[in-house]
C-alpha cells in the first residue's frame, strides 16, 4: 500500500512544527511531580499545533484513520521531541485509545468519548494492567482478576489496577474486566467511562524511570463502579480480542515515536562529537566514538525498515500479532543501544539534562518493558516456532 503525497506533506509539516515551535518548550519549568509537562502546558502546545494544522495528524479530517505506513512517517516526526507527541496529540495512551474506539465503538460512543480525544481537549487512560502481588493481569491479560457482573441495565466492576498511564488528570477511561456473567462465557469486557469517578480511586502515583507521559502510571482501586450497559465497548466477553486490536498497532506506534526521539539524540550526539576536541583531534575521528555513531546509523535504518514492514502487514487487515512482537523486540532493543551510545559519546554532558539524550535513554529503557517485555515476546515467538514445526512434521 502506497503512502499518499498528502501524508508525506503532513509528516514534513509535523517535523517543521516540532523543530521550530516545540523543541524550545523542552526547557519550560511547568512540570508535574513526575517531570512530565502539566496539562496547562500541554494545552498551550496543542493550541499551537491546532493553528499549524498538525493536531492529531494521524486521523484525517473525515475522522478516518490513516494507514499504518502513513501513520509511521508522521509519528516518527512527532517523536523528535518528547513534547512533540504531546503537542500533536499522537502520544500514548491516547493514540492507541483513539484507534480502539474508532474501530470498535458505536457512533454514540464515538461522539461522546472519541471526539474529545481527537480534538485534543482531553486525555485518556487504558485500565488493564493489575498488581503483580495479587497475581493479576500484566503481560498475560488472561490472569485478569478485576471482575464485572450484570446488574439490570448496568455492569458493576470491582478490582485493582496498576501502571495505568495518564490516569491522573484523564477525562476518558477504558476499563477492562473479566465477566462473571454466564452469557459472556467468562470472557473479558471493555467499558468506556467518564473520569474522574468516585468509584475509581487513585491510591498512588509512583515516580518511574520514564517521565514523558502526563499523569504518570497510577495505582487504582475500583470499588462498585456502576457503568450503564450502553457504555460497553463492543460485545460482552470479547475484550481480549479487542485488546489485540489495540495492542498490535499500539506497540508499533511506540516504536515510531521513540525512534523519532533516538534520531534526534543521534543528531545531538553527532553535533557534539564533531565540535568537541580531545587528544589533538575531533572526537568523531576517534574510532571508539565514530564507530558507535556508525552502529547507531545502522540500527536506525533497521528500525525504519522493521516499522515499515510491520505497518504494511497491519495495513492488509491482519492483526499482525507475530509481526508486532518481532518489531517491538527488535526496535526497543535497538533504541536502547542507540540511546546508550549517544549518552556514552557525549561523556559527562550525556548524563545531564542539558539535552534530551539522557531523557531518551530513560524512555528507551522503560520501552523494553511496557507493551510486553522483550522476554515475553520472545517466549511467544518461540511457541509459534514450536507450533509451526509440529504442523510441518505432523
Give the domains, in start order, of the chain with CATH numbers: 5-91 (no CATH), 125-237 (2.40.110.10), 240-388 (1.20.140.10)
Residue 87 CB contacts under 8 Å (≥ 6 apart), including other chains: 17, 18, 21, 22, 25, 42, 45, 46, 48, 49, 78
**Single pTM value for the model:** 0.94
Q: Which three cell numbers stand for residue 172?
A: 476518558
Report how far apart, in Å, the C-alpha atoms of 369 and of each of 24, 108, 121, 374, 375 are.
30, 35, 29, 7, 9
**How confident is the model at residue 182, as a pLDDT?**
53
**How confident is the model at residue 185, as a pLDDT?**
57
**How confident is the model at residue 306, as a pLDDT?**
98
DSSP code at position 360 = H
Strand pairing of 124-127 and 154-165? unpaired
Burial 34-67 (b: 16+ CB within 10 A, else e): bebbebebbeebbebbbebebbbbbbeeeeeebb
Q: What is the SS3 assignment for 368?
A: coil
Residue 104 CB contacts under 8 Å (≥ 6 apart), including other chains: 190, 233, 234, 242, 245
Complete DSSP assignment for 209-229: S---STT-EEEEEEEEEEEEG
**How confident is the model at residue 137, as a pLDDT?**
73
Question: How many CB atoms are closer than 10 A to CB 260?
Answer: 25
Cell numbers 523494553 correspond to what residue? 368
Cell numbers 497491519 correspond to what residue? 314
CA atoms 142, 255, 209, 19: torsion sign: negative
Strand pairing of 200-204 and 217-228? antiparallel
Q: What is the SS3 assignment for 130?
A: coil
- The segments of the chain whose pLDDT lies below 70 read 182-186
**How confident is the model at residue 181, as a pLDDT?**
73
Amino acid at each position: 500500500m502506497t503512502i499518499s503525497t498528502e501524508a508525506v506533506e503532513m509528516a514534513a509539516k509535523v517535523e517543521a512544527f516540532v523543530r521550530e515551535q516545540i523543541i524550545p518548550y523542552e526547557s519550560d519549568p511547568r512540570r508535574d511531580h513526575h517531570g512530565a509537562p502539566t496539562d496547562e502546558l500541554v494545552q498551550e502546545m496543542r493550541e499551537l499545533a491546532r493553528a499549524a494544522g498538525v493536531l492529531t495528524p494521524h486521523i484525517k479530517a473525515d475522522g478516518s484513520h490513516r494507514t499504518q505506513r502513513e501513520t509511521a512517517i508522521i509519528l516518527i516526526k512527532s517523536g523528535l521531541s518528547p513534547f512533540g507527541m504531546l503537542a500533536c496529540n499522537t502520544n500514548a495512551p491516547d493514540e492507541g485509545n483513539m484507534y480502539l474506539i474508532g474501530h470498535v465503538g458505536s457512533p454514540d460512543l464515538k461522539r461522546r468519548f472519541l471526539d474529545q480525544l481527537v480534538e485534543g481537549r482531553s486525555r485518556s487512560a487504558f485500565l488493564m494492567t493489575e498488581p503483580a502481588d495479587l497475581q493479576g493481569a500484566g503481560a498475560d491479560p488472561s490472569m485478569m482478576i478485576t471482575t464485572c457482573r450484570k446488574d439490570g441495565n448496568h455492569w458493576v466492576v470491582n478490582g485493582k489496577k496498576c501502571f495505568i498511564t495518564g490516569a491522573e488528570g484523564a477525562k476518558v477511561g477504558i476499563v477492562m474486566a473479566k465477566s462473571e456473567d454466564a452469557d459472556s462465557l467468562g470472557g473479558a469486557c471493555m467499558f468506556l467511562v467518564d473520569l474522574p469517578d468516585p468509584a475509581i480511586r487513585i491510591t498512588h502515583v509512583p515516580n518511574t524511570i520514564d517521565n514523558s507521559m502526563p499523569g504518570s502510571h497510577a495505582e487504582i482501586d475500583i470499588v462498585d463502579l456502576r457503568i450503564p450497559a450502553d457504555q460497553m465497548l463492543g460485545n460482552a466477553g470479547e475484550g481480549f480480542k479487542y485488546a489485540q486490536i489495540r495492542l498490535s498497532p499500539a506497540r508499533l506506534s511506540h516504536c515510531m515515536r521513540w525512534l523519532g526521539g533516538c534520531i534526534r539524540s543521534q543528531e545531538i550526539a553527532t553535533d557534539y562529537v564533531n565540535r568537541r576536541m580531545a587528544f589533538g583531534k575531533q572526537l568523531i575521528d576517534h574510532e571508539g566514538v565514530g564507530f558507535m555513531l556508525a552502529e547507531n546509523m545502522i540500527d536506525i535504518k533497521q528500525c525504519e525498515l522493521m516499522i515499515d514492514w510491520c505497518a504494511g502487514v497491519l495495513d492488509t487487515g491482519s492483526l499482525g500479532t507475530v509481526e508486532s512482537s518481532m518489531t517491538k523486540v527488535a526496535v526497543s532493543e535497538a533504541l536502547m543501544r542507540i540511546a546508550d551510545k549517544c549518552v556514552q559519546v557525549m561523556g559527562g554532558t550525556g548524563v545531564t539534562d542539558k539535552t534530551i539524550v539522557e531523557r531518551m535513554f530513560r524512555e528507551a529503557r522503560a520501552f523494553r518493558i511496557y507493551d510486553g517485555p522483550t522476554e515475553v515476546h520472545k517466549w511467544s515467538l518461540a511457541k509459534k516456532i514450536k507450533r509451526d514445526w509440529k504442523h510441518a512434521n505432523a
